[in-house]
Amino acid sequence: MRPLTLTLCLAAAVFTAGCAKKEAAKEQGATGTVTKQEFGKTAQGQPVDLYILKNRNGVEAAITNYGATVVRLQTPDAKGTLADIALGFDNLQGYLGEEPYFGAIVGRYGNRIAKGKFTLNGKQYTLAKNNGENALHGGLQGFDKKVWAAQAETKPEGQVLTLKYRSADGEEGYPGNLDVTVTYTLTGDNDLRIDYRATTDRDTVVNLTNHTYFNLAGQGKGDILGQQIAINASRFTPVDAGLIPTGELREVAGTPFDFRNPKAIGKDIGAADEQLKLGKGYDHNFVLDRRDEGLAPAAKVIEPATGRVLEVWTTEPAVQFYTGNFLDGTIKGKGGVAYQQRYGFCLETQHYPDSPNHPAFPSTVLRPGQEYQTTTVWKFRTEGAN
């Protein structure tokens, strides 16, 4: 009975709690909605949609199947007022041009690979150099520029959007056909959970993440320097001038990279520190302090004026903390607001950058028969009303 009802619900462009309610009134996911809207067409005329997941508290995650991109995140402040905390564009057009991965899923290899080269099983692979002399975020046409197959449904655990993409053998220079599934689940507890899965038919490397730029005061509402962040990391990977890890794991203690206790993002960002100069701010991979391989807290950000809190939990070993250093006001985002430097921060949960060239780093190799499986959860919370 149940699968049939869900299928019927899916057939409608808008399917609300109604369908699921009859099935299981007590299931928390049953009190939200999933709406599908047209979002535009790619340059090749391919139609793209926007899926709006809304939970029982009015929290909303709008996600397009272009790049599996988070377009909008409406979350409450301590008084219950909703605001959109994700940078991005009002329509597809904005995402089609040059833009710094707002909200997108990046892959096949998120972050950098030195000189666009790596060796696997004794064979050297060459990637496009799209970031100085290095490869960044999957190449010229990474997963952020692909139209994904999408299916939305209301499930007991929440509003669920499942996105699939097959990256062909040789695409952007990577070996193996890679079948990728990214599932976004908005729960009744204001969590947005992202599950990443992938399988391959040849040995390859994989490092998937989401590149949302957050501003907990609301997107376009100034810089994020006053927001307080704690990162659960005792070490980070220092970089060279091309932002490639040197291989060292450096203690954060006594450096501007110590976020083990909450600290305003802007507190030390201007410090006379070689690493901050190289990154033009924070653009570094923090090695998470973990006890095991399960879902564990990675970072927590508090916006003091609104009381909005973002907690990031992940199964990944690291997180790239990036403070929007390359934003310079030339990009006009939602509502025509010019996104200036430091108007957003990213917390890209990941394996370390350039892992394929660092045998000592946790491996990013995926082989046939294995499943790439990672999870990151964004918990939208509030504390201390103002």
User: How far apart are CB 318 and ligand GLA at their closest, in Å?
Assistant: 12
CA distance 195 to 307: 27
Give which of 320, 327, 309 is closest to 209, Cα–Cα: 320
Closest residue by beta carbon to ligand GLA: 100
Task: Point out the catalytic residue in the list 211, 284, 351, 358.
Answer: 211
Catalytic residue check, 60: no
User: How far apart are CB 164 and ligand GLA at their closest, in Å?
Assistant: 24
Nearer to ligand GLA (CB atom), residue 41 or residue 280: 280
Among the listed ranges 1-9, 31-39, 255-263, 318-326, the one in contact with ligand GLA (CB under 6 A) is 318-326
Nearer to ligand GLA (CB atom), residue 32 or residue 103: 103
User: How far apart are CB 347 and ligand GLA at their closest, in Å?
Assistant: 10
User: How far apart are CB 110 and ligand GLA at their closest, in Å?
Assistant: 8
Among 71, 127, 239, 346, binds ligand GLA (CB under 6 A): 346
Following DSSP, what letter does each residue of 144-155 receive, concatenated? GGSBPEEEEEEE
User: How far apart are CB 342 and ligand GLA at their closest, in Å?
Assistant: 13
Distances (CA, A) of 3 to 113, 127, 162, 237, 357: 43, 43, 16, 47, 46
326 belongs to the binding site for ligand GLA (CB under 6 A): yes
Amino acid identity, position 338: A
The answer to whether 325 touches 337, Cβ cutoff 8 Å, is no
Nearer to ligand GLA (CB atom), residue 172 or residue 191: 172
101 belongs to the binding site for ligand GLA (CB under 6 A): yes
Which two structure tokens, joined as six digits, stand for 98? 């040059």
Tell me which residues in 223-262 interact with ligand GLA (CB under 6 A): 243
User: How far apart are CB 99 and ligand GLA at their closest, in Å?
Assistant: 9
Q: Scanning the structure block, which residue is given the tokens 């939602």?
A: 334
Catalytic residue check, 348: yes
Strand, helix or coil for residue 195:
strand
322 belongs to the binding site for ligand GLA (CB under 6 A): yes
Task: Point out the catalytic residue in the list 60, 99, 303, 348.
Answer: 348
Nearer to ligand GLA (CB atom), residue 85 or residue 136: 136
Residues 6+ apart with CB under 8 A from 7: none
Residues 6+ apart with CB under 8 A from 248: 237, 238
Which two structure tokens, joined as six digits, stand for 9? 């619900």
Amino acid identity, position 13: A
User: How far apart are CB 320 and ligand GLA at their closest, in Å?
Assistant: 6
100 belongs to the binding site for ligand GLA (CB under 6 A): yes
Nearer to ligand GLA (CB atom), residue 135 or residue 252: 135
Strand, helix or coil for residue 272:
coil
Helix, strand, coil percentages in the chain from 3-state DSSP, rounded to 5: 10, 40, 45
Distances (CA, A) of 385 to 60, 81, 191, 215, 305: 21, 11, 20, 18, 8
Among the listed ranges 152-160, 303-311, 319-327, 366-374, the one in contact with ligand GLA (CB under 6 A) is 319-327
CA distance 311 to 209: 16
283 belongs to the binding site for ligand GLA (CB under 6 A): yes
320 belongs to the binding site for ligand GLA (CB under 6 A): yes
Nearer to ligand GLA (CB atom), residue 101 or residue 174: 101
Which two structure tokens, joined as six digits, stand for 81? 């007022």
CA distance 269 to 281: 6
Number of residues that bind ligand GLA (CB under 6 A): 11
Tell me which residues in 118-177 interact with ligand GLA (CB under 6 A): 136
Residues 6+ apart with CB under 8 A from 292: none
Nearer to ligand GLA (CB atom), residue 136 or residue 208: 136
Residues carrying an active site annotation:
211, 348
- Give me the residues that bind ligand GLA (CB under 6 A), please: 100-101, 111, 136, 243, 283, 320, 322, 326, 346, 348
